[in-house]
Amino acid sequence: MTKSELIENLAMKHTHLNLIDVESSVKIILEHMAQSLSKGERIEIRGFGSFSLHHRKARTGRNPKTGEAVALAEKYAPHFKPGKELRERVDTSIPEQ
């Protein structure tokens, strides 16, 4: 599913909203999430999952083309942990209740 498909699906379920508002809403939600993470804040959505930042230590990397060593500074990377409901709904090996 792409962002435009998500917008279409949501538009079908929210017939009282016009397409422009659905499109804007999706963009606002994603931008809100990106903003929070870039400020170092977690996102917690019960049943879906949580997003947080993981610290990455500084390390010496290599340019794969030239083999040259490159110093990489420490940084943060986004991390997603699926919530219980999502895990259970996705894992088809769990029998449905």
Partner 1 sequence: MALTKAMMAERLCDELGLNKREAKEFVETFFEELKISLENGDSIKLSGFGNFDIRDKRERPGRNPKTGEEIPILARRVVTFKSGQKLKTRVEAYAGSVK
Tell me which residue has tokens 């990455």: 56
Q: Is 50 in the site for partner 1 (CB under 8 A)?
A: yes
Q: Is 79 in the site for partner 1 (CB under 8 A)?
A: yes
Shortest Å distance, C-beta 95 to partner 1: 12
Distance CA 36, CA 71 (A): 28
Shortest Å distance, C-beta 65 to partner 1: 19
Phi-psi region of 71 (alpha: psi -120 to 50; beta: other; left: phi over 0): beta
Q: Is 19 in the site for partner 1 (CB under 8 A)?
A: no
- The backbone torsions φ and ψ at residue 46, rounded to the nearest 5 degrees and listed phi first, read -60, 135
For partner 1, the closer CB: 45 or 70: 45
